[in-house]
Amino acid sequence: MIDVLKIVIPSVITFFIGISITPFFTDFFYKHKMWKKSPRKDSGMTTEEFSKIHNTRGELSTPRIGGVIIWVSVLLTVFLIYLLSVIFPSDLTEKLNFFSRGQTLIPLATLILASLIGLLDDLLQIFGRGVYAKDPLIYRKVKIICIILIGFAISYWFYYKLQFTSIHIPFGGELELGIWFIPFFIIVMLAVFSTSVVDGIDGLSGGIMATIFSAYSIIAFANNQIDISALCAVIAGGILAFLWFNIPPARFYMGETGMLGLTVTLSVIAFLTNSALLLIIIAFPLVITSLSVIIQITSYKFFGKRRVFKLTPLHHHFEAIGWSREKIVMRYWIISVVFAMSGVIIALIS
């Protein structure tokens, strides 16, 4: 029973902390006009296409760094519960504390570092006047290098300190990778990071990411990794607080500070729960979104500038063919739940 409370209580606290701090951040975002002024050069859209898809309900004047609310509410919850366990030590407060070196230190540090890198990217695109602001592709390359370095540091720790040398193949046992575990870890982290392009429609990224982290909370709980399970639930609680204000019409969008922090942290949690390969299923909406961009770029460059989709990422293709944003978001949510449940079931029985 206490293990269930350790997951439920912090996640509920995070949700209400997120709701509480949002008015302050919202006023700050709008006061300083923290939105992007033009399409990204790496978006694959013309100015006309960008305006057609993105200028609905004043979207171009909607702040882009709402992801701050997610990781700030998560960190406040971790700090609050840890502080209670120190100031008012008891069986309850100590058991509710899920900050631990063995399970949650690495993913929390990853969340902070990646979120700050994403925040820097957002701020440079909003206020920057230098080369990075003028050419987002350059800074994207810098971000990729940062993620490779983060991935190398974490995978090095996994391999040499935690003795991670294999990955679990559902229904197939363990696949020994040896030293190749390190590059595999980095590749997975980069692949998950590439899915950050899903943040493009009101409520889309929030609903998908909340579902994914909830699924990994269940998987971690089944593995008796209670602290990781609690952390995943807390992140889901923070995302739901964000989503409360991100449903149409969105008060703000997640931005890189949200998506970069969440996607990189997600890859770490997937390896900690020994279910990295299940990301393909549990995070299927992210996978298909990223694949749509890869397919579009490949087709355009190598097959006579031919486009497979009207626009990418995939959700913008559905917009271009006439689907309403509400229809796209709700169907993505449904698909997310179906695939997340399928991944959880496979994790539990394999």
Q: What is the mean pLDDT of residues 111-121?
A: 92
Q: At residue 322, does pLDDT exceed 70?
A: yes
The span from the CA of 103 to the CA of 55, in Å, is 43
Q: How far is CA 298 from the centre of its chain?
A: 25
Q: At residue 231, does pLDDT exceed 60?
A: yes
**Sequence letter at residue 317:** H
Q: What is the mean pLDDT of residues 292-307?
A: 88
Terminal-residue alpha carbon distance, the chain: 26
Contact of 198 with 207, CB cutoff 8 Å: no
**Beta carbons within 8 Å of 32's beta carbon, 6+ residues apart:** none
Contact of 310 with 295, CB cutoff 8 Å: no
Percent of the chain topping pLDDT 90: 63
Helix (H, G, I), strand (E, B) or coil at 219: helix
The span from the CA of 342 to the CA of 170, in Å, is 12
What the block records as the tokens of 333 is: 């949510």
Closest CA to 125 of 26, 213, 40: 40
Q: Residue for token digits 């006047």?
A: 129
Look at residue 47 in the predicted model and tell me its pLDDT. 45
**What are 240-297's pLDDT values in tens digits?**
999 999 988 889 999 999 999 999 999 999 999 999 999 999 999 999 998 998 999 8
**What are 144-164's pLDDT values in tens digits?**
898 999 999 999 999 998 899
Q: What is the mean pLDDT of residues 296-325?
A: 88
List the domain boundaries for the chain.
Answer: 2-279
**Sequence letter at residue 26:** T
Q: At residue 134, does pLDDT exceed 60?
A: no
**CA distances from residue 270 to 37, 105, 229, 283 in whole angstroms, order as listed:** 35, 15, 12, 11
Q: What are phi and psi of 167, to 5 degrees?
A: -125, 150
Look at residue 201 in the predicted model and tell me its pLDDT. 87
The span from the CA of 101 to the CA of 116, in Å, is 21
Q: At residue 190, does pLDDT exceed 50?
A: yes
What the block records as the tokens of 32 is: 């300083």
Contact of 301 with 307, CB cutoff 8 Å: no
Helix (H, G, I), strand (E, B) or coil at 169: strand
- Interior CA angle at 130 toward 129 and 135, to 5°? 100
pTM (2 decimals)? 0.92
Burial zone of 51 (CB within 10 Å; 0-12 exposed, 13-18 middle, 19+ buried): middle
**Beta carbons within 8 Å of 114's beta carbon, 6+ residues apart:** 147, 150, 260, 261, 263, 264, 265
Helix (H, G, I), strand (E, B) or coil at 305: coil
Helices then strands, counting H and E runs in the chain, come out as 15, 2
Look at residue 312 in the predicted model and tell me its pLDDT. 86
The span from the CA of 119 to the CA of 256, in Å, is 6
Q: What are phi and psi of 119, to 5 degrees?
A: -65, -40
**What are 25-81's pLDDT values in tens digits?**
999 999 988 887 555 444 444 445 555 665 554 556 788 899 999 999 999 999 999
Give percent helix, percent strand, percent coil of the chain, each to the nearest 5: 75, 0, 25
